[in-house]
Amino acid sequence: MIKVAIITITYNSSNVIIPFLKCLSESSFKDFKLFIIDNNSVDETVEIICKIKKIDVQVIENKKNIGVAAANNMGIKLALEQGYQKVLLSNNDIVFDKNIIGDLVNFSKNQSSSISSLKIMYEHDKDKIWYCGGFFNFNKGLVPEHLGIGQPDFGQYNHLKYSDYAPTCFVLFDSKVFSEIGFMDEAYFVYFDDTDFFYRVKKNGNFKLLVNQKIKIFHKVGSLTSTSDAKGKKSNFFISQNIQNHFYFLKKNERLYFYLFIPFLFIRYNLRTIVSNQYKFSFNTLLLVNKSIIKGILK
């Protein structure tokens, strides 16, 4: 029997975690243990977790928010120490049916896949795709892009099997992947941590990411991070983390390309601040953007 460690990070997750735990408790696949790494939640998250009865769970309560990459590493290392063969990195702002975990495990086994993911739909618009495969866009500074994002699902991408990138909303790994690739880079507090990991997988070349297009989960996109403010504009937190981590990611993984691309990215991020309706155009926003660029270059 394959043993699966499910790792999820909580941070003020009380508004999403109950449906997630319900999905796990109703799962037809039972041979799993849930590792919850709580990043110092100040809401009712921990109280909710403590009421879990139907799931084998281990909770780590951090005294401060150590970020996504570091928290995932804590869970992965615990799973490896306890002998788990498979590690499932999962968000807790998702919902899924009772067969999903078993279906993904069987897919991984039948395809001899070291890394397996699935189709991810918007939770608020269940017929639309959020992810069904991904690639690194060279022309945009190797940012990862989702195939089919925002499109109604007519099965138009069901022929796709291999992918370069997957968000770690629900990805199943063989434990050996971490032995060879290493762990998440803890320099990323949030954003680009999974980008960096899958780019390292791609460069390594010994593992392939397979996407099962026949099974799907539903994702409450943006519910766990401060992506946007009340008016739908990108938050200062998102702007700062996303920009500096993008520059750091390029500098770390493709140094020559990074130095050649600095002028393009500088112009791109500043223009986006001015012309995009997703950004609040102000002097303070422009200042934040350029401070974040400098931080990323020096990181």
Q: Where are the domains of the chain?
A: 4-219, 236-298
pLDDT in tens, 125-142: 999 999 999 999 999 999
Mean of the pLDDT values across residues 268-288?
A: 90
CA dist., res. 138 & res. 190, Å (int): 22
Architecture of the 4-219 domain: Alpha-Beta Complex (3.90)
Residue 278 has pLDDT above 90, yes or no: no
* Residue 147 near residue 243 (C-beta atoms within 8 A): no
Give the pLDDT score at 53. 86
CA angle 156, 141, 172 (to 5 degrees): 50
DSSP string, 128-172: BEEES-EEEEGGGTSEEEETTTT-B-SSTTTT--EES---TTEEE
pLDDT in tens, 100-125: 999 999 999 999 999 999 999 999 99
Confidence (pTM): 0.95
Which residues are within 8 A (CB) of 143 and not within 5 positions of it... i.e. 6 or more apart? 136, 137, 195, 246
Give the pLDDT score at 230. 59
Strand, coil or helix: what is 221?
coil
The pLDDT mean for the chain works out to: 95
pLDDT in tens, 246-262: 999 999 999 999 999 99
* Residue 215 near residue 118 (C-beta atoms within 8 A): yes
pLDDT in tens, 2-50: 899 999 999 999 999 999 999 999 999 999 999 999 999 999 999 999 9
Give the pLDDT score at 281. 85
Q: Packing angle between helix 283-298 and helix 255-275, nearest 10 degrees?
A: 170
Strand, coil or helix: what is 32?
strand
